[in-house]
């Protein structure tokens, strides 16, 4: 490639550190697609002949078939996917292959290929996110009124329902989906034609190549075209946030499947045993979803560190932009698939969850609200009275509903027997009908809402 300038070839160390073909071969589909669009534009503008175009199209189709069949001779000495394909093309079709690189550089070529790859990855992950949302919805629909404890600080707080809990993750994933779709809009500009950094003197038609590749238009500044990797950073940021949501659910599954909780059970296909303890059923799929979040977040931080000190425009540092993105996309895809599978496999223990829903004086807020509604007390005073009643129940070893009316009236004489109507977890849940609240009728309505949106 550098024969006109360099008398000697690179050293073995230089070849090793410089080559990217070991990982950027993943871009081969995008590279061929971009080259086809570029060649057609060159022919349409009269820069190459129709005969050259036909030869290039035929040669690239044959190369695609070779790669698909696993017969392509990847060569590390040719550094990257771009030179590997171009060299093979020239080998196949001769001089016409050498004309393909007219009016472009590897700088705009890789920027285009990478945008195409990230765009394809977003489309695939978006479909998986929607499937995962449907898996959460399936559980929510079956368990709109299934009682379970709601937690703050990992302590029982108020009763909720499993359906409402599942819908929280639907909301999180919907925002993840929005972030990926927003990122796709911003990346959907075509750098091809920016050449090395300053554009080209050839009469190219960048709008034509952009349209053929499905971009909204060409990038507007040639320097930014080859220097920008914020589209990859935004992709990684969306991936890291999405992974953190999946990790939170994975952590809950790890807790819920433990004997101490016993809220749900996962089948044999998504758990593992122990080499020494025959009783074990380990939630390894959930644990690995939790762990892979570190890889995805690490990829984001890694690329931020690569890009933070680079003056315009292209620098070889930017070769480090791809491995983390490839790995993060694959890891997130696997996490989404595993999460959807666990949701469809898990079997909630409804009785165990319902029993736990009333633990820890979880209806205390309902008692305080009753004092405000029925006795017209200021909330802070009602809060204080409820706290004294909780202390009394705790000292007697019972829950709030276990206190006698006389015992309650020792703290607040105006309390009536009607208070017992709000002291069950089911009553607590049913009362929370404010928009977004946990009442079963709300949960059912929200399931319908998301079913309609997801189609």
> Which neighbouring-strand residues pair with 155?
152
Q: Under a CB-based contact definition with an 8 Å cutoff, are residues 189 and 216 in contact?
A: yes
Q: Cα separation of 416 and 375, whole Å? A: 10
Q: Among 148, 341, 132, 136, which residue's Cα sits nearest to residue 262?
A: 148
Q: Cα separation of 403 and 360, whole Å? A: 15
Q: What is the pTM of this model?
A: 0.92
Contacts of 413 (CB under 8 A, 6+ apart): none
pLDDT of residue 8: 61
Q: What is the largest CA-CA distance in the chain?
A: 100
Q: Report CA Rg, the chain.
A: 30
Q: What is the crossing angle of helices 28-44 and 81-93, to 10°? A: 60
Q: Under a CB-based contact definition with an 8 Å cutoff, are residues 34 and 116 in contact?
A: yes
Q: Cα separation of 86 and 97, whole Å? A: 7
Please identify which residue in the block is written with the tokens 């949960």: 443
DSSP secondary structure string for all residues of 409-454 = HHH-TT--GGGGGGSSHHHHHHH--STT---HHHHHHHHHHHHHHH
SS3 31: helix
SS3 284: helix
Pick left, alpha or beta for residue 46 (phi over 0 → left; psi -120 to 50 → alpha; otherwise beta): left
- DSSP tag of 311: P
Q: Cα separation of 40 and 54, whole Å? A: 9
pLDDT of residue 2: 45
pLDDT of residue 14: 81
Q: How long, in residues, is the chain?
A: 455
Q: How many helices (H) and strands (E) does the chain have?
A: 19, 6
Q: Under a CB-based contact definition with an 8 Å cutoff, are residues 215 and 240 in contact?
A: no
Q: Cα separation of 382 and 388, whole Å? A: 10
pLDDT of residue 277: 80
Q: Under a CB-based contact definition with an 8 Å cutoff, are residues 176 and 238 in contact?
A: yes
- DSSP tag of 275: S
Average pLDDT per run of 10 along the chain, which is 455 residues long? 54 81 93 98 98 98 97 92 96 97 97 98 98 98 97 93 98 98 98 97 98 98 98 98 98 96 92 78 93 98 97 94 97 98 97 93 92 95 96 94 94 95 94 96 98 94
Contacts of 28 (CB under 8 A, 6+ apart): 64, 67, 81, 85
pLDDT of residue 360: 87
Q: Among 267, 325, 254, 320, which residue's Cα sits nearest to residue 296?
A: 325
Q: Among 221, 234, 398, 250, which residue's Cα sits nearest to residue 313?
A: 221
Residues with active-site annotation: 153, 274
């Amino acid at each position: 490639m550098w024969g006109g300038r360099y008398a000697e070839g690179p050293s073995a160390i230089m070849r090793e550190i410089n080559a990217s073909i070991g990982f950027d071969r993943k871009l081969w589909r995008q590279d061929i697609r971009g080259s086809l669009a570029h060649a057609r534009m060159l022919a349409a503008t009269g820069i190459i002949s129709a005969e050259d175009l036909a030869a290039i199209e035929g040669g690239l189709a044959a190369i695609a078939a070779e790669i698909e069949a696993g017969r392509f001779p990847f060569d590390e000495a040719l550094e990257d996917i771009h030179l590997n394909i171009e060299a093979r093309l020239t080998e196949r079709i001769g001089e016409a292959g050498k004309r393909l690189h007219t009016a472009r550089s590897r700088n705009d070529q890789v920027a285009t290929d990478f945008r195409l790859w990230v765009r394809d990855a977003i489309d695939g992950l978006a479909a998986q996110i929607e499937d995962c949302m449907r898996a959460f919805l399936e559980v929510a629909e079956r368990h709109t009124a299934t009682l379970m404890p709601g937690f703050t600080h990992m302590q029982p707080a108020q009763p909720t329902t499993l359906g409402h809990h599942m819908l929280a993750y639907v909301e999180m994933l919907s925002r993840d989906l929005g972030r990926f779709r927003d990122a796709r809009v911003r990346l959907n500009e075509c750098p091809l034609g920016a050449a090395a950094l300053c554009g080209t003197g050839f009469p190219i038609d960048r709008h034509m190549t952009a349209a053929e590749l499905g971009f909204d238009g060409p990038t507007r500044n040639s320097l930014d075209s080859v220097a920008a990797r914020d589209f990859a950073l935004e992709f990684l940021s969306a991936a890291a946030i999405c992974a953190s949501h999946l990790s939170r659910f994975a952590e809950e599954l790890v807790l819920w499947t433990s004997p101490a909780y016993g809220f749900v059970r996962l089948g044999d296909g998504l758990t593992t045993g122990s080499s020494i303890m025959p009783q074990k059923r380990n939630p390894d799929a959930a644990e690995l979803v939790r762990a892979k979040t570190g890889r995805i977040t690490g990829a984001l931080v890694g690329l931020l560190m690569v890009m933070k000190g680079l003056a315009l425009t292209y620098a070889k540092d930017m070769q480090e932009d791809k491995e983390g993105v490839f790995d993060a996309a694959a890891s997130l895809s696997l996490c989404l698939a595993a999460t959807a599978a666990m949701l469809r496999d898990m079997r909630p223990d409804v009785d165990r969850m319902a029993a736990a829903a009333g633990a820890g004086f979880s209806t205390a807020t309902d008692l305080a609200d009753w004092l405000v509604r029925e006795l017209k007390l200021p909330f802070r005073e009602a809060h204080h009275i409820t706290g004294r009643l909780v202390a009394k129940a705790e000292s007697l070893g019972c829950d709030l509903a276990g206190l006698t009316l006389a015992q309650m009236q020792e703290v607040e004489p105006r309390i009536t027997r009607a208070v017992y109507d709000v002291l069950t977890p089911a009553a607590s849940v049913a009362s929370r009908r404010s928009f977004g609240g946990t009442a079963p009728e709300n949960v059912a309505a929200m399931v319908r809402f998301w079913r309609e949106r997801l189609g």
